[in-house]
């Protein structure tokens, strides 16, 4: 580019036809000279105290424009034809060829060496496993990323448009809650890719997440709890049911728990970071009823649920069927403990600490779900009362719409109890 010193005197003494030089009178009485012009999409706005300086700068800009024009003619004919076609395609979008090129480089070209989506998914799962996440967490992550890799596994993330991602998210045939969880896992994959420079942005952040409504946590009635406890011993799951109902420990946490973590003297059970869902150490105080059930089946060592996973699943399902349950939610025992514990003590902070829960969530979800009288009956379900003939059966009524089984209010004498499949066990 020519400098102002290299502009020949003959040109410096006259004004170029482009760009225009404007002048205006200042309040001080001086004259200001201005160049205000758009060059390659960028506005140049410069002021000068003398006309000569403005003229020199104007010739510089004119010279630059002429040089850029000559560069275009130096391009091969084929490139000029392609450029012309590209400009024609970009015209409806009011985008310059340079802007389109910059976008391509920033969003596509720089990610050509990025791994395919399925490879990134494998790395995300592997990282979670090596970071010490619980086996169920790793399994859930792998399962939820599977549908994403089925759709985009052989592509790079940079090749997936927002429209493609939005269409895939809308096609997921899951409940709103499960769809939210799946999108969260896909977002985790995008964040991992961003950290390694494999994509430009996390497109899931632009998606509209499905609305979910939190319902009332389902808890077992006192009678349903008694039925479950009655069948537990026959399936070698007394400790599992006892800790679930009366300590509120999650099913997966109980299965990872060993007997040496149950401290009968201190009346607590210790859940370290390898056991808890959240990876946070937790100490749960044991209610006397929980202790009573544990003492009926305590062992000196080993896991509390000491059986292979496939055996556990078979035994746990058989227990529920024997107890008359047709429908079951994974955390029903935990919800039952939370409901009756809050109703019995009203000490939401202590219950939250035992459950490893947020006290505000606990208060919002479990307040008023049971009466203190019901809670007192629940925590009197000791082995002595449940197993010494104080159980009677009663016919039930079934609400086919809600699929919830409810017992009649009148307790039948033992000799009148039927033995049909639609019975439930009640404690007197």
Q: Which CATH entry fits the domain spanning 222-386: 3.40.30.10, 1.10.275.10, 1.10.10.10, 1.10.443.10?
A: 1.10.443.10
pLDDT band for 332, please (50, 70, 90 cuts). very high
CB 57 within 8 A of CB 40: no
pLDDT at 140: 92
pLDDT at 69: 62
pLDDT band for 124, please (50, 70, 90 cuts). very high
The string of pLDDT tens digits covering residues 95-118 is 888 888 888 877 777 778 899 999
CA distances from 152 to 216, 306, 327 (A): 37, 41, 36
Taking 90 as the threshold, does the pLDDT of residue 316 lie above it?
A: yes
Taking 60 as the threshold, does the pLDDT of residue 411 lie above it?
A: no
Q: Which of 189-198, 268-277, 402-411 has the highest mean pLDDT?
A: 189-198
Q: Which CATH entry fits the domain spanning 117-206: 1.10.150.130, 1.20.1250.20, 3.30.70.1560, 3.30.70.2190?
A: 1.10.150.130
pLDDT at 112: 83
The string of pLDDT tens digits covering residues 203-240 is 999 999 888 776 788 999 999 999 999 999 999 999 99
Taking 50 as the threshold, does the pLDDT of residue 178 lie above it?
A: yes
Of the given ranges (287-301, 360-374, 379-393), which has the lowest mean pLDDT?
379-393
* Percent above pLDDT 90 for the chain: 51
pLDDT at 115: 94
Taking 70 as the threshold, does the pLDDT of residue 415 lie above it?
A: no
pLDDT at 73: 57
pLDDT band for 336, please (50, 70, 90 cuts). very high
The string of pLDDT tens digits covering residues 18-67 is 788 888 888 888 999 988 877 666 778 888 999 888 888 888 887 777 77
Q: Where are the domains of the chain?
A: 4-74, 117-206, 222-386
pLDDT band for 10, please (50, 70, 90 cuts). low
* Of 414 and 203, more confident: 203
pLDDT at 386: 84
Residue 141 φ then ψ, to 5°: -60, -45
Phi-psi region of 293 (alpha: psi -120 to 50; beta: other; left: phi over 0): alpha
Of the given ranges (115-124, 205-214, 268-277), which has the lowest mean pLDDT?
205-214
């Amino acid at each position: 580019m020519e400098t102002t010193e290299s502009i020949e005197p003959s040109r410096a003494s006259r004004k170029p036809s482009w760009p225009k030089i404007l002048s205006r009178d200042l309040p001080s009485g001086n004259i200001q000279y201005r160049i205000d012009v758009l060059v390659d999409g960028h506005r140049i706005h410069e002021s000068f105290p003398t006309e000569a300086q403005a003229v020199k700068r104007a010739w510089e800009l004119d010279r630059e424009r002429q040089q850029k024009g000559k560069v275009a003619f130096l391009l091969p004919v084929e490139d000029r034809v392609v450029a012309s076609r590209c400009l024609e395609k970009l015209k409806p979008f009011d985008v310059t060829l340079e802007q389109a090129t910059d976008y391509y480089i920033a969003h596509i070209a720089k990610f050509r060496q990025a791994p395919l989506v399925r490879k990134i998914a494998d790395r995300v799962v592997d990282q979670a496993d090596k970071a010490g996440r619980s086996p169920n967490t790793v399994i859930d992550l792998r399962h939820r990323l599977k549908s994403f890799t089925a759709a985009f596994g052989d592509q790079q993330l940079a090749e997936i448009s927002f429209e493609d991602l939005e269409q895939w998210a809308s096609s997921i045939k899951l409940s709103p809650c499960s769809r939210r969880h799946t999108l969260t896992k896909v977002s985790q994959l995008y964040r991992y890719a961003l950290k390694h420079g494999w994509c430009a942005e996390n497109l899931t952040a632009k998606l509209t997440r499905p609305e979910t409504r939190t319902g009332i946590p389902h808890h077992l009635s006192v009678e349903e709890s008694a039925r479950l406890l009655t069948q537990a011993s026959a399936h070698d799951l007394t400790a599992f049911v006892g800790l679930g109902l009366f300590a509120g420990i999650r099913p997966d946490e109980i299965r990872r728990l060993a007997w040496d973590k149950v401290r009968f003297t201190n009346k607590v059970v210790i859940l370290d970071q390898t056991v808890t869902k959240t990876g946070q150490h937790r100490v749960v105080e044991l209610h006397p009823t929980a202790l009573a059930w544990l003492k009926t089946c305590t062992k000196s060592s080993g896991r509390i649920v000491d059986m292979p996973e496939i055996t556990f699943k078979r035994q746990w399902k058989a227990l529920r069927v024997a107890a008359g349950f047709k429908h079951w939610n994974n955390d029903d025992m935990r919800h039952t403990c939370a409901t009756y514990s809050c109703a019995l003590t009203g000490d939401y902070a202590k219950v939250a600490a035992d459950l490893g829960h947020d006290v505000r969530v606990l208060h919002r979800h479990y307040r008023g779900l049971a009466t203190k009288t019901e809670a007192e009956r629940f925590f009197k379900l000791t082995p002595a009362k449940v197993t010494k003939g104080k159980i009677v059966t009663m016919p039930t009524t079934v609400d086919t719409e809600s699929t919830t089984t409810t017992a009649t209010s009148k307790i039948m004498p033992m000799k009148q109890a039927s033995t049909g499949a639609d019975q439930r066990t009640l404690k007197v």
